């Protein structure tokens, strides 16, 4: 059976796994963004806090994904919970770091003016600082998404959802009929989906960033 025949034959199954894969990555990126931006907002005023938050999230990233999932299984069991936990943890670093960099990069004169004309702290944060840091935060989310697309494949090890199932099944049955096709289908699927998501991020960036701060 050729690769295309294989894809044709398994189309509905590949499609549903693709959807699960993307949905897991997108949801985990959103959770990571909510957590990451909160952490970034909490620490960006203090150089010490920023350094600690960046170091901690970097440390998480250095744990091999295979090991992290393995360690999470005894605690969270199999399936979705360890997958979500691992993806969120991995997704934090780029978002936390970019939030800190983005917020710290806001010109002091602008926040001074915002305070000086009577905005309260919350207003300065939500109406000025986060708006100006948004392109950086979005870039962090974009990097996280790309990274999580690959890491999510490993989640099949913990019986997680997604295209990783195909890759693992193909690799386990190496040498038998269609094993290579199966592994390749999973891999190519992830690459294609990653490119599509990246394109969507470009569009989101275009429509959610003020023309006043978008790169010329």
Partner 1 sequence: MASEIQLTDVTKRYGRRKPAVDNFSMTIPAGEIVVFVGPSGCGKTTTMRMINRLIEPTSGTITIGGEDTSTLDPDKLRRTIGYAIQQAGLFPHMTVAQNIGVVPGLLGWDRKKIADRVEEMLDTVGLDAAEFHDRFPRQLSGGQQQRVGVARALAADPPVLLMDEPFGAVDPITRGNLQDELMRLQGELRKTIVFVTHDFDEAVKLGDRIAVLGEQSKILQYDTPDVILANPADDTVAGFVGAGASLKQLTLRRVRDVELVQPEVIVSTQDEPDEIRRRLTDAGRSYALMLDARRRPVAWVHVREPRVRRPIRDMVAAESTVQDALEAILTEGGNAVVTGARGEFKGLVEIDTVMAVIRDLRETV
Cβ-defined contacts of 209-215 (< 8 Å, 24+) = 209/134, 209/135, 209/138, 210/131, 213/132, 213/135, 214/135
The smaller minimum CB distance to partner 1, of residues 116 and 175, is found at 116
Question: What residues numbered 116-155 form the site for partner 1, per CB under 8 A?
Answer: 116-120, 123, 128, 131-132
Contact between 215 and partner 1 by CB under 8 A: the answer reads no
Residue with tokens 């004169």: 109
The smaller minimum CB distance to partner 1, of residues 55 and 109, is found at 109
- Angle made by CA atoms 195, 209, 97, in degrees to the nearest 5: 70
* Cα separation, 197 vs 34, whole angstroms: 19
Of residues 27, 58, 176, 210, which one binds partner 1 by CB under 8 A?
210
Question: What residues numbered 58-117 form the site for partner 1, per CB under 8 A?
Answer: 107, 109-110, 112-117
The footprint of partner 1 (CB under 8 A) covers: 107, 109-110, 112-120, 123, 128, 131-132, 210-213
């Amino acid at each position: 059976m050729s690769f295309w025949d294989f894809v044709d034959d398994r189309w509905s199954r590949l499609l549903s796994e693709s959807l699960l894969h993307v949905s897991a990555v997108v949801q985990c990126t959103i959770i990571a963004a909510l957590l990451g931006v909160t952490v970034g907002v909490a620490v960006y005023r203090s150089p010490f806090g920023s350094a600690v938050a960046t170091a901690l999230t970097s440390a998480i990233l250095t744990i091999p994904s295979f090991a992290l999932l393995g360690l999470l299984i005894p605690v969270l069991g199999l399936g979705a919970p360890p997958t979500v936990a691992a993806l969120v943890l991995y997704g934090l670093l780029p978002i936390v770091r970019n939030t800190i960099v983005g917020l710290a990069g806001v010109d002091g004169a602008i926040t001074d003016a915002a305070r000086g004309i009577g905005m309260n702290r919350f207003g300065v944060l939500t109406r000025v600082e986060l708006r100006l840091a948004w392109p950086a935060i979005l870039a962090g989310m974009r990097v996280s998404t790309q990274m999580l697309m690959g890491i999510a494949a490993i989640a099949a090890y913990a019986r997680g959802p997604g295209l990783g199932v195909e890759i693992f099944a193909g690799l386990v049955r190496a040498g038998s009929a269609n094993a290579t096709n199966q592994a390749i289908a999973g891999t190519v699927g992830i690459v294609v989906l990653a490119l599509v998501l990246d394109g969507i991020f470009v569009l989101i960036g275009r429509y959610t960033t003020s023309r006043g701060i978008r790169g010329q």
